[in-house]
Amino acid sequence: MSAPLLEVRGLTVEFPTRRGILRALDGVSFAIAPGEVLGVVGESGAGKSLTGAAIIGLLAPPGRIAGGSILLDGARIDHLPAEAMRRIRGRRIGAIFQDPLTTLNPLYTIGRQLIETIQTHLGLSGADARARAVHWLEEVGIPAAARRIDAYPHEFSGGQRQRVVIALALCAEPRLVIADEPTTALDVSIQAQIIALLKRLAREHTTAVMLITHDMGVIAETADRVAVMYAGRIAEIGPVADVVRAPAHPYTAGLMASIPALEHRVARLAQIEGAMPRLDAIPPGCAFNPRCPRAHDRCRAERPELMGAGATEAACWLHAPAHAESSPAHA
Amino acid sequence: MPEAPLTPADATTDMPVLEVTGVTRLFDVSRPWLQRVLAAERKLFLRAVDDISFTIARGTTLSLVGESGCGKSTVARLAVGLLRPTAGEIHFEGQPLSTARAQPALRRRMNMIFQDPFASLNPRWRVRDIVAEPIRAFALARGAEAVRGRVEALLTQVGLSAADGEKYPHEFSGGQRQRISIARALASEPEFLICDEPTSALDVSVQAQILNLMRDLQDRLGLTYLFISHNLAVVRHMSDRLGVMYLGRIVELGPAETVFRTPAHPYTRLLLEAIPDLERVGQPRTPVGGEVPSPIDPPPGCPFHPRCPLANDRCRQEKPAHARTGEVLVACHAVEEGRSA
């Protein structure tokens, strides 16, 4: 991999509460290369959105980065002053959120919002900024862009609004885009259009994308690599084809097996018993051990870090050298 | 024009549990009276469900699938009697639905499971009271002891423990709450459950638990399901028969396996093509163009024609009727004329 564009090392995020400190992210480390799409997948509360929020400096108080570092192009961007972070956001890191209606200001035309972003970050004149805004609307496939630029968000359909949001995120030509559930609010037929668009633009502009979603199907088709999160940590990370076809972590294996397949019908879906632990009740050792069919004594006592497991890396003691002779995780 | 109800291959001689014949439901979406009169506008109706017909055989699952606004949830509400059809008839156990709803003995035999387990349980009631309410309402058990025993049996049946009855809904996770909803729905000893997106608020691993539970219960209790979902993979896992809806119409209806293996309607094909899938790692796809038109102002002719690769002049003018191919009903001129191959 070339020099990473984004590097996250040992990121820890805590929420102080009256009943003690909740650790929502605990030692999360990964990197994204320029032009690469990294999928981040996990169930609700696994910490995937929080990871994105920490990177763009939008952690909701009282959440705080309690440890680790975030590097963009080799320079640290965690703990930057709010004003410096604001300039990075939009210019160097774009963001796309789930609900296009809350991302767009309903009182301004989409043109005004695009032009303001372009002028703020690229310093273009009014006419140039407008031409560029029209260009971006054409790029994301808004028909009659020159006329539609003066329309308000409510005049667009859901899918078109999400296209506008993508234009807004990309118009300052950021090197990294954080897309948090960008297609979850959309219907399946629209979802495929938006994924194809995001993928094409990322490739054409060599923009790195951190794609956060709970939908493994979206990741499988879009991402180059995938990080599977569980209870605030990365359980497994690796090339998407390997994670999907030969998952190394028992949680990933269970997750894959529990997704109903479109190609065939099974009598019974594989299911992982129980639910992800709450932040105030994360078990000692590996957080997954109470639900893991292959847990052994070491899993209950000692917390595994990411270690090499075939083509991927998994935080699982099954892949510790002592366990080297054992079979793959999906028993 | 109601067509003859389709009989599934494995149908028993029993009458269908639910029979829906030519049902249409309009919603009045006009502006307020004064504004309408001042602007000399006519009343405006949204045709949420447009002349649909289907039957559900005992012990089977019929699923309705479609994108937002296709009318699938309206069908669920019509089937359970929360809405009345503008035109057409619904029969439950051979009786008109309104007659059936008026008799407690029949009314208790249908129940509904909703999408959001956070909104559908009263937060101020203990779980045992939530589950006991239908038992008390229909007097299915007499005496506190008998009711308690029944509640405990129901909670165990859905994979919770008897002691969970003492807790409040907020003490449970989303998946467990959906189990409570199912226990409550089963409390009136129904035969027919209407499930409106029962797992779409849940994470996948929890979704698998709930889907497995629903199928186990169907096998054990002989339940009949009307299953509403936008998720085709979930639908495939659950259904015996499948109806694909688009803008208020069922465009394709038939045995689920047949529809999934050999989808006939261009919309069904595009929908199946559009779904991101694990087995297609890194493969490019052709996304469906366009978006669902507004149901207030549907296109003339076949409602799907603006997005359909096979559309011709006839499709733009004439609404297609259902034509039968084998066991499948399809509403498409192109399929009927053999242009779809």
**Looking at the partner chain, which of B208, B231, B281 has a beta carbon nearest the beta carbon of A271?**
B208
Which residues share a beta bridge with A262?
none
User: How many residue pairs from chains A and B have C-beta atoms closer than 8 A?
Assistant: 133
The structure tokens listed for A102 are 């809350």
Give contacts of B237 with chain A, Cβ < 8 Å: 260, 265-266, 269
Q: Is the dihedral of CA B231, B233, B236, B237 positive or negative?
A: negative
- Using an 8 Å CB-CB cutoff, list chain A residues near B206: 43, 275
Contact B57, B72 (CB under 8 A): no
d(CA B279, CA A241): 9
> B281 to chain A: which residues are within 8 Å by CB?
220-221, 240-241, 244-245
User: Which residues from A are below 8 Å from B291, CB to CB?
Assistant: 157-160, 189-190
Nearest residue of B to residue A213, measured between CA atoms: B203
> Of A33, A42, A4, which Cα lies nearest the Cα of A213?
A42
The CA distance from A20 to A14, in Å, is 10
Of B203, B232, B291, the CB nearest to A44: B203
What pLDDT score does B5 carry? 45
Q: Tell me: the pLDDT tens digits for A249-301?
A: 999 999 988 888 877 777 788 888 888 888 888 999 999 999 999 999 999 99
CA–CA dist A240, A208 (Å, integer): 16
Q: Would you tell me how many other CB atoms lie within 10 Å of the CB of residue A69? A: 15
Quote the minimal CA–CA distance from B213 to chain A in Å. Answer: 10
Report pLDDT digits (tens) over A112-137.
Answer: 999 999 999 998 998 999 999 999 99
Task: Tell me if B279 and A256 make a contact (CB, 8 A cut-off).
Answer: no
Interface check for A268 against chain B (CB to CB < 8 A): the answer is yes
Q: Does residue B213 sit at the A interface (CB-CB below 8 Å)?
A: no
pLDDT tens-digit readout, A69-88: 999 999 999 989 989 998 89
Q: What is the mean pLDDT of residues A22-32?
A: 94
Chain B contact present for A265, CB below 8 A: yes
User: By the 8 A CB rule, do B135 and B147 touch?
Assistant: yes
Interface test with A, best of B203, B245, B304 (most A CBs within 10 A): B203
Runs of H (alpha helix) within chain B? 33-38, 72-80, 97-102, 104-107, 127-137, 144-157, 174-187, 204-221, 232-238, 256-261, 266-274, 313-317, 333-337
Provide the pLDDT for residue A25.
95
Q: Which band of pLDDT confidence, cut at 50, 70 and 90, is reported for residue A327?
A: very low
Report the distance separating Cα A292 and Cα A258, nearest Å: 14
Assess A157–B contact: CB distance below 8 Å, yes or no.
Answer: yes
Pick from A66-70, A97-101, B315-319: least confident: A97-101
pLDDT of residue A329: 47
Compute the distance between CA of residue B317 and CA of residue B319 in angstroms, rounded to an integer.
7
Nearest-Cα distance to chain B for A55, in Å, is 25
Query: A136: burial class by Cβ within 10 Å (0-12, 13-18, 19+)?
Result: buried
Tell me, yes or no, if A187 comes closer than 8 A to chain B by beta carbon.
yes
CATH number assigned to the domain with residue range A6-230, chosen from the 4 options 3.40.50.720, 1.10.3720.10, 3.40.50.300, 3.40.228.10: 3.40.50.300
User: B47 - beta bridge partners?
Assistant: B26
Predicted local distance difference test score (pLDDT) of residue A92: 93
Domain ranges of chain A: 6-230, 249-323
Structural tokens at position B213: 């539970």
Inter-chain touch B208–A159, beta carbons under 8 Å:
no
> What beta strand segments (E) does chain A contain?
6-17, 20-32, 37-41, 64-72, 75-76, 93-96, 176-180, 208-213, 225-230, 233-239, 307-309, 312-314
| Selected residue with higher pLDDT from A303 and B29 | A303
- Select, from the ranges A27-31, A58-62, A122-126, B14-18, the one with the highest average predicted confidence (pLDDT): A27-31
pLDDT tens by residue, chain B, 341 residues: 444 444 444 444 578 999 999 999 999 888 888 888 888 888 888 889 999 999 999 999 999 998 888 899 899 999 999 999 999 999 999 999 988 888 888 889 999 998 888 888 999 999 999 999 999 999 888 889 999 999 999 999 898 988 999 999 998 888 889 999 999 999 999 999 999 999 888 888 888 989 999 999 999 999 999 999 988 889 999 999 999 999 999 999 999 999 999 999 999 998 888 877 777 666 666 666 777 787 788 888 999 998 888 999 999 999 999 999 889 999 999 998 888 76
Looking at chain B from residue 3 to 42, which residues have their Cβ under 8 Å from any Cβ of chain A?
Answer: none
CB A38 within 8 A of CB A32: yes
Cβ–Cβ contact A252 with B under 8 A? no
Q: Is residue B241 within 8 Å of A198, Cβ to Cβ?
A: no
Task: Please tell me the predicted confidence (pLDDT) of residue A61.
Answer: 86
Q: What is the pLDDT of residue B265?
A: 94
Helices H / strands E in chain A, number of each: 12, 12
Characterize the bridge pairing of strands B241-246 and B323-325: unpaired
- Listed in sequence order, the residues at least 6 apart from A316 whose beta carbon sits closer than 8 Å to its beta carbon are A235, A236, A248, A249, A250, A286, A304, A307, A309, A329
By CB atoms closer than 10 A (0-12, 13-18, 19+), residue A102 is exposed
Question: Would you tell me which residues 104-143 of chain A have a C-beta closer than 8 angstroms to some C-beta of chain B?
Answer: none
